[in-house]
Amino acid sequence: AAQVATEMRSETLSGQAPSRRDEYAQMTREEVVKAARKLYAAPGYAQTTVEKIAREARVSPATVYAQCGGKEGLLRTLMDMWTTSPTVGRIITDAAAAPTGRTKLEVLAVGYAAHAAEAGDIMRIVERAAPSSTAAQDFLDIADERHIEALETIVEGIADDDALAEGVSIQEAAQIIFFHFRNPQFVLASETFGWGVDRATHWLTDRVTAAILRG
């Protein structure tokens, strides 16, 4: 999906409008991705076949392979949608603009909740598929790497404001945030414990604040 958008932007910048064929191909890819997202969530990645995706999207199996790379290609597309969402960029920008270490973490916490609402189903798809799929585990590793890199960018801003606790490195602080706010922990607090998003967000923010900010 991200690649498709990039291709379309390149065509627009070059002054060439997408052809009817290109537009149809894009619409087809979007329908296939939507079908995969639905089926990977239930009944699950392992239980979903290309044939089932094709039926759901009303295309041929050959189209799923040719345009979307089959099951693994679709899973990679979903992971990219999760980790390169415009929401991620907005969180980093808004956190950078926040005036204190605590408010940066509060902005980040609100961003986590928004991102979970937007892509939480994709996060769970990849997480659940990883134990039985090497490809899914590889994609989860990439997602985690991107996640920590984004957190390090935010923590660098906290360190620049001299708000990072003594003895806590940028890498360690990012890991602490990752440990507390990564999707399984957020879901555990907000859904499994029944705390709801607001209580879970505030509680996790307090724990991270105590761990990485100056007292």
Q: What percent of the chain has pLDDT over 70?
A: 93
In 40-97, which residue ranges form alpha helices assigned H by DSSP? Answer: 50-57, 61-68, 70-83, 86-97
Report d(CA 188, CA 108) in Å as an integer. Answer: 18
Q: Looking at the structure, tell me whether residues 75 and 53 fall in a common domain.
A: yes
Report d(CA 167, CA 200) in Å as an integer. Answer: 27
Write out pLDDT tens, residues 181-214.
Answer: 999 999 999 999 999 999 999 999 999 999 999 9
Residue whose C-alpha is closest to residue 159's, from 104, 197, 110: 104
Write out pLDDT tens, residues 21-62.
Answer: 889 889 999 999 999 999 999 999 999 999 999 999 999 999
Q: Looking at the structure, tell me whether residues 144 and 50 fall in a common domain.
A: no
Residue 74: per-residue pLDDT: 98
Q: What pTM does this model have?
A: 0.86
Q: Looking at the structure, tell me whether residues 57 and 122 fall in a common domain.
A: no
- For residue 109, the one-letter residue type is A
User: CA distances (Å), 179 to each of 121, 144, 151, 175, in order?
Assistant: 19, 11, 11, 6
Report d(CA 127, CA 131) in Å as an integer. Answer: 8
> Total structural domains in the chain?
2
Q: Looking at the structure, tell me whether residues 172 and 203 fall in a common domain.
A: yes
Q: Is the bond preceding residue 43 a cis peptide, omega within 30 degrees?
A: yes
75's tokens: 């899973």
Report d(CA 140, CA 128) in Å as an integer. Answer: 10
Write out pLDDT tens, residues 77-87.
Answer: 999 999 999 99
Domain that holds residue 23: 2-80
